[in-house]
Amino acid sequence: MRVRRIKYGRQRIDRSDRKAVAEVLRSDWLTQGPYIERFERQIAEHVEAKFAVAFSSASAALHGAAWTLGLGPRDLGITSPLTFVASTNAFRHVGARVGVVDITQDSWNLDLRLIPEKATAVMPVHFAGLPVNLEKWEPSGQRPKVIEDASHALGAITPSGPVGNCAHSDVTCFSFHPVKPITTGEGGIAVTQNYELFERLRRFRNHGIIRDRGDETWQYEIAEEGFNYRMSDIHAALGLSQLKKLQKFVSIRNEQALFYRDRLSALGIGLPPLPQAGFLHGYHLFPVLLQNRDFLFREMRRRGIGVQVHYVPVNELAVNQDMNTATTELPVTQDVYSKILSLPIHPGLSQGDLNFVVAVLEELHPPGLRTAGRQ
């Protein structure tokens, strides 16, 4: 049996990244210095947002967004079931109730039409890097607060512009975990077009400290509690260096996806939804649908291929037992979850790696077993 060590996602670090980090170590600041501000400014420019606040993780940024928008026990936050637990935790951390609605067949993103009128907050998750289509979304009741969990989608584009320009949201959060589009080691960022939200995000990140008289006094005030959710300059320097490669990374991911689509459609494997006109997919993940998923998970892992299941639906986790499933049934989620498997996709993969993944699927995916996935 041939074996090749391949991960489903991995950082790609080069000499310029290492040099950037080494430079910070020789400077005066290791945290909250000039690299943080530069990183924030460049991310904001990149996604066409006015303001950006770097955090120690996307989970922290999402918590910050929920707090900044004033969510609390009176609120009901709705998100997608097909997401990481950080999405629902962000609502929980501020005491809000959480709920999910089913995903759509043709996006695997939350079905906006199912969001109940009583929802006061919505967290669209751009699953796998495919932006949620918010273009024509008209909430049935009062407009809820909207936080985009764009952890998968830095570099993705919508007809309204880059994900992160908050054309249909209050705050958008990105992750820089090593498997995400670019990395800072650990890290995240919240972007917004609203100055007041920006100020609150900054305060929340730094214990709630208000220094409205600058450096001319030692005094400061804390009106509301915050956290130490700061990103360090060491992380920000890596992020700045990585950001230069974002476009290249996203285009490599798109080429890899094209290769998989071409080779796997012949096997009758269910392919991930395609972006609609005007959208660019980020392809953080390449999840496919397989009738014999459990078998393939084991067999591909045995051959060194680090496939993964994204995600155990968040409503099935014990922490979310009390969850308000806004629609009682999640038929599409259940069907997708029973077959879904993320294949390796990241800029460090060679053509040999991709060929190996396809060859293993050709060997193990029995013809004649057609999946429910279309295309």
Which residues would be at the binding site for ligand PLP (CB under 6 A)? 57-59, 83-84, 86-87, 125, 149, 151-152, 175, 177, 188
> Nearer Cβ to ligand PLP, position 44 or 58?
58
Identity of residue 272: P
Q: Find the helix or strand (DSSP H, E) in which 187 lies.
A: none
Is the Cβ of residue 21 or residue 189 nearer to ligand PLP in the bound state?
A: 189
Write phi, then psi, for 117 (nearest 5 degrees): -60, -30
List the Cα angle 319/322/328 in 5-degree steps. 120
Smallest separation (angstroms) from ligand PLP to the CB of 124: 11
Q: Which is nearer to ligand PLP, 86 or 154 (CB)?
A: 86
Looking at the Cβ atoms of 66 and 125, the one nearer to ligand PLP is 125
Q: Closest approach of Cβ 89 to ligand PLP, in Å?
A: 9
CB of 263 to ligand PLP, least distance (A): 26
Q: Which is nearer to ligand PLP, 190 or 252 (CB)?
A: 190
* Cα separation, 84 vs 32, whole angstroms: 28
- As a dihedral over the C-alpha atoms of residue 143, residue 145, residue 149, residue 153, rounded to 10 degrees, the angle is 50
How far apart are CB 286 and ligand PLP at their closest, in Å? 14
Contact of 291 with 371, CB cutoff 8 Å: yes
Q: Which two three-digit tokens encode residue 228?
A: 């130490």
Beta bridge partners of 206: 228
Is 311 in a helix, a strand, or coil? Answer: coil
CB atoms < 10 A from the CB of 153, how many?
Answer: 33
CB of 88 to ligand PLP, least distance (A): 10
46 vs 284 by CB, closer to ligand PLP: 284
Q: Which residues pair with 78 in a beta bridge?
A: 99, 122
CB of 175 to ligand PLP, least distance (A): 3
Q: Is 111 helix (H, G, I), strand (E, B) or coil?
A: coil
Q: From residue 266, how far is each of 32, 77, 214, 259, 303 by CA, in Å?
A: 52, 41, 64, 12, 22
Give the separation between CA 35 and CA 33, rounded to whole angstroms. 6
Q: Is 121 or 125 the residue whose CB approaches ligand PLP more closely?
A: 125
Positions of E strands within 258-350? 286-289, 305-306, 324-325, 340-343
Nearest distance from C-beta of residue 235 to ligand PLP, angstroms = 11
